[in-house]
Structure formats: structure tokens, C-alpha cells
Amino acid sequence: MERTLTQKVLEPHLVVGKYMPGKEIGIRIDQTLTQDATGTMCYLQLEAMGIPKVKTELSVSYVDHNTIQAGFENPDDHKYLQTIAAKYGIIYSRAGNGICHQVHLERFAKPGKTLLGSDSHTPTAGGIGMVAIGAGGLDVAVAMAGGPFYLTCPKVIRINLTGKLQPWVSAKDVILKVLEIFGTKGNVGCVFEYTGDGVKTLTVPERATITNMGAECGVTFSIFPSDEVTRSFLKAQAREMDWIPLFPDEGAEYYKEVEINLSELVPLIACPHSPGNIKKVEEVAGLPVDQVCIGSCTNSSYRDLMIVAEMLDGKQCHPDVSFVIAPGSRQVLRMLAENGVLDKLIAAGARIAECACGFCIGNSQAPRSNGISLRTSNRNFLGRCGTKSAQVYLVSPETAAAAVITGKITDPRSLDLPYPEIKMPGQFLIDDSMFLPPSPEPEKIEIYRGPNIGEPPVNDPMPEKIDGVVTIKVGDEITTDHIIPAGSRMKYRSNVPKYAEFVFEVLDPDFHKRAEAYKEQGKHNIIVGGLSYGQGSSREHAAICPMYLGVKAVIAKSFERIHAANLVNFGIAPLLFKHEADYAEIDQGDELEIPDIRQKIANGEDITVVNKTKGKTFMVTYQLSERQKEILLAGGTLSYMKSKA
């Protein structure tokens, strides 16, 4: 039987179940990555599992998110991460080495292997032919401990690329077109598999830009074939031995097929406040711009920054524009310094930020009040940039550079400039000195714990009934940034009681006070949401912190994959309205009772919810495997593992 590329990679990694789309499977994970914003809790959970050393082929701990050291919290946590890596057999990538996805693509990603990362943009490595999946930190800890990663065997959507990108149109415009077609919701349980003659016209970094932002569509991962272009990239990284050819079979059957002619694409832009709010750049051209930020794990490769530098060569940044560049890796930064291109960027007025996530997660470069910011990053959620009143637009490096010159949103095709032709290097600069290997004497390593680090909270078993209050009611497409903010708040990631004070801060700053008050009264907290609840980051604190505040259930019209799994991992029931119209009948402050919830879930039965305030009832259901039911009833994965032990 002809197989898709997805099937060819997943089948040899199956340890639980069979390859049947829609059914739960467990796969062996070859590699893991963490970053410091989610990794600290991940490693605290790994410690709690009591294993002496990770059991993966490769695990890497990156420091790239919370590199701003304004206070003791971040440097303390970095020291914890360094010592835990040395003791447990993990490679440690020091702050300044670069953004995890960019660096992993350069130095570790392998075609045909599996990668699990505690960051939702882990699918970036799909650009090299790898099954790379974002997950909550607890799932990554389980994988490092040698356990399988469970997922729904995906439905494979074929995106067939034809033609070739025209001048001033880039890979960012390809994925924005994909977002225009598929949107940011309704794609849970699917993957994107890219095929067609257009694939060979794209470099590996361009492919990685496309797979990176597949996360915004909600798919489990995206993947490209491993071809001669892949081989050339790995050879230039001195890793040709890691290459294998990998293609789908001719005649493989797909769940759905879409064709995109690269030759017909034009510069696109994602308007506030969603990556799915797509327009042509020419439709919004002329809007004055206050800030341009180029970088992030989506667009900070050598090719991306080279093209920006060539566009800006001999020009000056518009006086009304604050312009910052964040190279994706130390490799990229050093190569730009050695070939003189970095000087072109500095001469044009660029502020050079360190090789880190920085502005993308809102811990630096916040725009002015009501400012217009053009960014090459992947998310423009409300308030994520650090300024709630700002308007953030997502664009390609070409469109971003055009705005640096003109001071307004500009279709780069309208510039009187020759299109820069950037060739991929035959040899990248290889310097792995900022990777610290594990200690050869782990027994001598003492793990450093600063005062900001606490124990990972463990939930109680699911009660026989939930008797609670609708502490907040929210609308559609609520992201994990809405639930628990990134930016400067993330320094409390290992201090759950403190971090919990900021749950739903961007929507309702008083949420945590109400939740704590209800908890003290012996009431459970219940969240009511709309469609696509839990979009965005894999940040498991969006489940941990509500759990700490006594949230026992989230009732929504639909959930996104990673967040739904995180809720189960921490003992919060992800319940679905059986009839979406019932959503309108509930108000914040309503008292709800969910009787016999343990018994109903154990028996696989729909559940009746009593709205005691309104004197009405409505039905909810759930999408849980038998394994997830056991975990949920135990109070979450850590409670479940302890009960099994």
C-alpha cells in the first residue's frame, strides 16, 4: 500500500496502537528540546519521576526566552537548568547561542526522526523531514524518561506546491496563504504534508518558516520531504551523515488535498489580532508604522537577514520607525559579522538584539501606546507584544524591510530596487562551543535551586461531583497568552503561586482574586469558553496555574490539541458543549453542578450539567481516550504515575 511521508516516519516509531487515523497511538521519541520558559517546570517534573538519566537519543535544553536578567529569577533558573542538564545527560545551550528552533534545525534535526519539544513551534524541524511536535512540558518529561508520547493518529492534508516564488514574495507569504485557506481553528488532529515540484525551489530555512507557522493553524505538525536540497543544507552544516532520502509514495491517499501555485502568490500580511486575519499587503499599504522587528524562530535565518541587509544597503531607517533585528542563532550573527553584512544593518539604523526570542514573546521591544508594529514573528495576539493597545502585523522580511525604508506599510514590489539574489552558503560557520555537554561524573553534580523555584504542584483526584461557579466566560479563539501571559511575567514560571496571580490578566485582572475567594469558600472554579479554546503556545502553565486556583473543568465549544492535553495532564476536565447553543445560556457567576462526573467519565457517558442559578440543565461530552480518562480521574499525570508506582 502506498504511504504518505507522515506514515513512513510514524510507523517505525509506533509503540502503542496501529497507524489508523483518528485513533490514539503512542510513539517513541528520539529527540527532545526544551526552552527556559517551559523547561524549568519540565525538569522539575522529570526529577519527580525519579529516573537517573534521560533515555532519548538526544535531549537539548535551550535558554532563549527569558534572557533578560532584570532580577534574580531568570539567572537563578538558568543555573538550575545548567546543573540539571549536566546531571541528567542533557546538552545545555547557553543564553546567546540562539533560538531553540533555529539552532536545532542547524545542528541536531535529522530526517526521519521524531522530536518532541516543550514549545508549540517545535514543528519548525519538519522543514528538514522530521516529525517534530510541540507538547506540554510534562509530556516532554515523560518522553525523556523513556515513555511514549500519545497523540491522535493524524489525518494527513497534502499541500501540493507548484511553480516558483516571484521576486519580493517569500516563504512567509506561503504560510500566510496556508493560514488564509485553513484558518486558525478546525484543524486539530491533522498534519500538513508538503509535496510537488515547487518544493525543490525552497531552501531548508524557507521550508522551516512554513512548518513553523503551521502551528498557528492548529495542526499537529508539518513536514517536507528530505531531498537533495536537504542534503545540501546538512552538508553545509557538516552533517551530511545525518541525511536520508524521504518521500511519500506515488499514489498515496490523503485526507484532503490543496494546491498552491507559488508563482501566483503576492506579499501578504496578518492583521491584528490573529495570524489568521490575512490580507494582501497592497490592501493596507500606506498605514504609518512605528516599529519594525525582524527575527523570531520564523524569520531569523541567514537568508532572511541577508535579504534585509541588501535591501537596506546604503539607506537609512525612516525617522519615525524604531527598528530592531534579532538574529536567530550565534551562527547567523557571526556569519553576518564576518561577511560585513552586519555593518550594513547597523549603518541603516538597526538596533541589534541578542540571539533570542525577545520581542516575539513580549519581554522586550514593546511598541508605544497605540503603536503600529510590523514583525516577522508568528503571533500577534492581543497584548502579547507587551503593549495591549498596540496593533501588531505579521509580515515577511521583505515587507518589513520595505517599511523600514518608507515608514509605512509598503508592498515591496513597489520599491525601485533590484531584488537581491541570496545564495545558500556552501559551508556554514560551525562553532558548537556554547553547547555544554553532560557531566561525565553526574553523581558529583549538585542541582542549584534559587528561591524562585518551588515543587511542581500535584492535583487531587477528580471529585465525585463538581460544585462550582463560572469564574469567567470567554469568547472564541482564546489563546494561552490570554490565559497566562508571556513576557516579563514568565520569570515566575517555576513559582506557580506567584504566576497564578496573572491568570487571564489581559482579559480580566480580577480573575485570580475571584478564583481564590471561591476556592476558600470550598467552591470549584469553572471556565466557560467558545471555539478553539487554548490556541497558541504549548505553555502548560495555562493549565497548571488554573489548577492551582481550583479550576476543575473548562466547558468550551472546541479545544486546541496541546492545551486540551495539558488540561488532562493536570486534572482539569476539558468538557465540550453537546449543543453549542447552550453556551449563550450561561453567564459569569452562574453556579453550576456537575453530578457523578467521575462515574460518567469512567463509563464513557455524556454528562448533565445543572445551572442552579438559571434553573436549567444542559449536556456536555468529551473526547478522551481510556488512558486519558484514567489520568484525569487520578488528578493528572503526576498523580496517576504515583498511584501506579
- Long-range contact pairs involving 619-623 (C-beta distance under 8 Å, separation at least 24): 619/578, 619/579, 619/582, 620/555, 620/575, 620/576, 620/577, 620/578, 620/594, 621/575, 621/576, 621/578, 622/573, 622/574, 622/575, 622/576, 623/564, 623/574, 623/576
3-state secondary structure of 519: helix
Least confident stretch, 7-16, 35-44, 490-499: 490-499
What's the pLDDT band for 474 if we cut at 50, 70, 90? very high
Q: Same domain, yes or no, for 352 and 256? A: no
Instruction: Characterize the bridge pairing of strands 551-556 and 435-436.
Output: unpaired
- The answer to the question of residue 449 being in a domain is no
Percent of the chain predicted with pLDDT > 70: 100
- The answer to the question of residue 164 being in a domain is yes
What's the pLDDT band for 486 if we cut at 50, 70, 90? confident
Last residue of a domain, one of 414, 439, 455: 414
What's the pLDDT band for 252 if we cut at 50, 70, 90? very high
Q: Same domain, yes or no, for 282 and 233? A: no
Which candidate, 518, 450, 563, 558, places its Cα nearest to that of 40?
450
Q: Same domain, yes or no, for 193 and 318? A: no
- The answer to the question of residue 446 being in a domain is no
- The answer to the question of residue 632 being in a domain is yes
Q: What is the pLDDT of residue 643?
A: 73
Q: Quote the distance between the C-alpha of residue 410 and its chain's center.
A: 29
Q: Same domain, yes or no, for 228 and 372? A: no
pLDDT in tens, 398-432: 999 999 999 999 999 999 999 998 999 999 999 99
pLDDT in tens, 302-349: 999 999 999 999 999 999 999 999 999 999 999 999 999 999 999 999
What's the pLDDT band for 362 if we cut at 50, 70, 90? confident
Cell of residue 265, nine digits: 502568490
Compute the chain's Rg from CA coordinates. 24
- The answer to the question of residue 421 being in a domain is no
Residue 344, CA atoms < 13 Å, CB-side half-sphere: 18
**Burial (CB count within 10 angstroms: exposed 0-12, middle 13-18, buried 19+), residue 522:** exposed
128 close to 204: Cβ distance less than 8 angstroms: yes
pLDDT in tens, 213-248: 999 999 999 999 999 999 999 999 999 999 999 999
Q: Same domain, yes or no, for 400 and 477? A: no
**Mean pLDDT of the 284-301 span:** 96
How many folded domains does the chain comprise? Answer: 3
pLDDT in tens, 59-117: 999 999 988 888 888 899 999 999 999 999 999 999 999 999 999 999 999 999 999 99
pLDDT in tens, 573-616: 999 999 999 999 999 999 999 999 999 999 999 999 999 999 99
Q: Same domain, yes or no, for 359 and 227? A: no
Last residue of a domain, one of 246, 264, 282: 264
Q: What is the pLDDT of residue 645?
A: 61
Q: What is the pLDDT of residue 457?
A: 82
Q: Same domain, yes or no, for 297 and 329? A: yes
Which candidate, 500, 513, 592, places its Cα nearest to that of 552?
592
- The answer to the question of residue 431 being in a domain is no
108 close to 41: Cβ distance less than 8 angstroms: no
144 close to 118: Cβ distance less than 8 angstroms: no
d(CA 367, CA 359): 10
The pLDDT of residue 490 is above 90: no
Print the domain residue range for 340: 268-414
Neighbours of 167 (CB within 10 A): 13
Q: Same domain, yes or no, for 206 and 278? A: no
Q: Same domain, yes or no, for 639 and 518? A: yes
The CATH code of the domain that includes 210 is 3.30.499.10
620 close to 606: Cβ distance less than 8 angstroms: yes
- The answer to the question of residue 176 being in a domain is yes
List the end-to-end C-alpha distance of the chain, in Å, as a whole number: 42
Q: Same domain, yes or no, for 492 and 505? A: yes
- The answer to the question of residue 458 being in a domain is no
Q: Same domain, yes or no, for 639 and 590? A: yes
The CATH code of the domain that includes 552 is 3.20.19.10
Q: Same domain, yes or no, for 208 and 304? A: no
